[in-house]
Amino acid sequence: MTEDFKTLEFKNGKLVLIDQRKLPSSLEYAEASSVEDVYFAIKDMIVRGAPLIGAVAAYGAYFAAVEAKGDKNVFNKKLSYLLSSRPTAVNLSWALERQKRIAENTGLDPSALLKEALAIEDEDRKVNRKLSRYGSEVIKENANVLTHCNAGALATCGWGTALGVIKEAYCQGKNIHVYADETRPRLQGARLTSWELVRAGIPATLIPDSAAATLIREGKIDVIVLGADRITLNGDVANKLGTFPLSIIAKEYNIPFYSAAPISTIDFSLEEGKDIPIEERSKDEVIKIEDYYVAPKEIIVFNPSFDVTPHENITGIITEQGIIYPPFKENILKLKKELC
Ligand code: MRU
């Protein structure tokens, strides 16, 4: 199975991006050819999903090198600006740090930064395929799989992480059924995961987020696989809002709960999840659907975009190096050592 769409493509000096705000109504593309364009694309969620945010930011660093014309201070300011676009997904700072090193080693040569951005994009596709193969073992024949938000091809440079694991199991010929949480308030599950599942022909049911508990209690879910925006040394996982309550229900009913993510999503500098910065987004996302108000304008709103799931609630973390099981801290530190 291959995708018939590209979430990002560098063409004729420009970055062409699927405008994910428009899906599933229409498949439209947006272009980015400056730091400002890239900042806007990430902030306004033309692109979203941790690995894709990282890759797009890497191209942003290339534009920063072009715009800085050899001025290191200007370049660094532009990188800080890109870094401020969305705070939770660590892939953003990971990609910008990689580009910073390239800039230092090449005297800010834009062509070297472009080459690195292309490499980050290419690596992401390969890594997703690899982690999906490892992860597919947790999805058994006849499994009903629950996922949350969108951790598919649209959230990455291709194939996806959690949805990649599910697609891999399906491609292996396993008879599976996917339950996709709609994922209020931005509806990434309804708009994006459903779109990918329908396109791939994988049997799936879309559910309101609050239906997950009932399905789990009725024994209709065998395994939960979802993505991550940042994983800390102790195995705590920041992911789309709603992941944490899902993990509590899963633990209560003994349902295996996996997070699938590339190693670039592990923040080796953070000990535990309480230190992860959680993005709060506009109240409009909650009180409006398009131009239609579903709540009074005056109401106070709390709209965190992510929550943190404690490692105690996680069965395993699926990566391109294999599945990490508890004790997470020990095993993540071992992995860190192997990578150095
Ligand atoms: O706000 P979003 O849509 O960027 O949030 C996306 C998620 O939370 C995903 O689960 C996560 O980034 C992993 S994507 C492979």
Ligand 1 in reach of 305 Cβ (< 6 A) = yes
- 189 belongs to an annotated ligand binding site: no
3-state secondary structure of 270: coil
Residue whose CB lies within 8 A of the most ligand 1 atoms, among 18, 43, 167, 239, for a mutation test: 239
Q: Is the pLDDT of residue 283 over 90?
A: yes
Residue-wise pLDDT for 59-115, tens only, equals: 999 999 999 999 999 999 999 999 999 999 999 999 999 999 999 999 999 999 999
Percent of the chain with pLDDT over 70: 100
d(CA 232, CA 126): 23
Strands 177-181, 144-147: parallel, antiparallel or unpaired by DSSP? Answer: parallel
- CA of 73 relative to ligand 1 center, distance in Å: 31
List the alpha helices (DSSP H) in the chain: 35-43, 50-68, 72-83, 91-106, 110-135, 162-171, 188, 194-200, 212-217, 243-252, 284-287, 328-339
Read off the tokens for 139: 């999805």
Residue whose CB lies within 8 A of the most ligand 1 atoms, among 21, 92, 188, for a mutation test: 188
Q: Tokens 């890239």 correspond to what residue?
A: 38
- CA of 154 relative to ligand 1 center, distance in Å: 10
Which residues are marked as active site? 229
Residue-wise pLDDT for 271-280, tens only, equals: 999 999 999 9
Ligand 1 in reach of 149 Cβ (< 6 A) = yes
- 240 belongs to an annotated ligand binding site: yes
Phi, psi of 258 (to 5 degrees): -115, 145
Q: Residue with the nearest Cα to atom 6 of ligand 1?
A: 49
Ligand 1 in reach of 156 Cβ (< 6 A) = yes
Q: What is the pLDDT of residue 2?
A: 75
Q: Is the pLDDT of residue 178 over 90?
A: yes
Q: Is the pLDDT of residue 230 over 80?
A: yes
Q: Which helix (H) or strand (E) holds 18?
A: strand 14-18
Q: Which helix (H) or strand (E) holds 240?
A: strand 237-240
Q: Tokens 């909650």 correspond to what residue?
A: 286
- CA of 155 relative to ligand 1 center, distance in Å: 6
Q: What is the pLDDT of residue 232?
A: 98
Ligand 1 in reach of 227 Cβ (< 6 A) = yes
The pTM score is 0.97
Q: What is the pLDDT of residue 4?
A: 80
Q: Tokens 């532009």 correspond to what residue?
A: 78
Residue-by-residue DSSP string for 199-227 = HHT--EEEE-GGGHHHHHHTT---EEEE-
Rg of the chain, C-alpha, whole Å = 19
- 50 belongs to an annotated ligand binding site: yes
Paired strand residues for 260: 318
| Overall average pLDDT of the 331-337 stretch | 95
- 234 belongs to an annotated ligand binding site: no
| Overall average pLDDT of the 300-324 stretch | 98
Ligand 1 in reach of 313 Cβ (< 6 A) = no
Ligand 1 in reach of 335 Cβ (< 6 A) = no
pLDDT band at 3 (very low <50, low <70, confident <90, very high): confident
90 Cβ contact list (under 8 Å, min separation 6):
50, 229, 230, 264, 265, 266, 267
- CA of 306 relative to ligand 1 center, distance in Å: 9
Residue-wise pLDDT for 231-248, tens only, equals: 999 999 999 999 999 999
Distances (CA, A) of 59 to 75, 161, 268, 329: 13, 21, 24, 33
